[in-house]
Structure 1
């Protein structure tokens, strides 16, 4: 029997994607749901709205609430949160590498390492040395860093971002089950439940 499936669209600059990425593998396994991890970029999607940065920066009250909310939720899950400087981070390099890493058995671990470096340790994920450390910690080859810069891989990330926009995704994390969109870390359980019942 085919297991239900779900797509996990995440952006490395997203605080709430951090919370989801660290928890999703165990929750999905417990629910019996196969998850396809889909790194994408929010920048182009925000640009269509006329934004050149995160809405959490544009709307100060929303930003203050978000950081306090993330602190509360992270404490509940036993995770540390450090606000990286600058915020949002430039996640382009990380996303390009992640596309290739996720084809490897420990690709999810690499993605989690990036989130932990950024929001758990306040490191700059646009720095190749940070990405190298995340690869090394996951036992993945350093060649992925150079391979991520080839035109085919760059185009693949653009395609994933375009697909996210076509699906109506406007923020991260987002979960797609069939034609259903669930947005936000607080909807992850709903998405998994939908997958088990309708996937």
Structure 2
């Protein structure tokens, strides 16, 4: 499975967000002067650069490569509704993202690994495809053989229940439910989807 393998701390600093689940305390510290030997300020970005910035930020946040992200945008553009919102709904409906949101994994990267190792079942059936798209009403649960895994138990214990309105979670049974596609205002990621739509629409 293709995935980003480059320096994660550098990417987190670039977007000033805890992408990849990195600690905010040190990695995202901002100094009161610009980068470089003489502390020169950053150049003003063009409109294209700002649009590209938002697209790259979304890709890194959700752990998608360029082709995966573009294909997802194409499907969103052909669907009914506002393209940017539909795109984010599809991103949130991915199985790996839902595993992360439910607290079964501490990061999306960890969620992809847990999913690909068949530790997750959907509607009672084992699913090992991180990009699997959930539908409202789908039941996502930890497989019986994985319920005693130290990593998963630790994550579930530290997970605040019912953190997201479009998901339901029963920590005692390790079972969750994808209730509905979330509204854009419910999704916490600070990404300007309009810029992404404008970039791909050129």
**TM bracket (short chain):** under 0.3
Could you tell me the TM-score, scaled by structure 1's length?
0.25
Higher relative contact order (CA 8 A, sep 6+): 1
Greater Rg by CA: 2
Higher helix share: 1
Could you tell me the TM-score, scaled by structure 2's length?
0.25
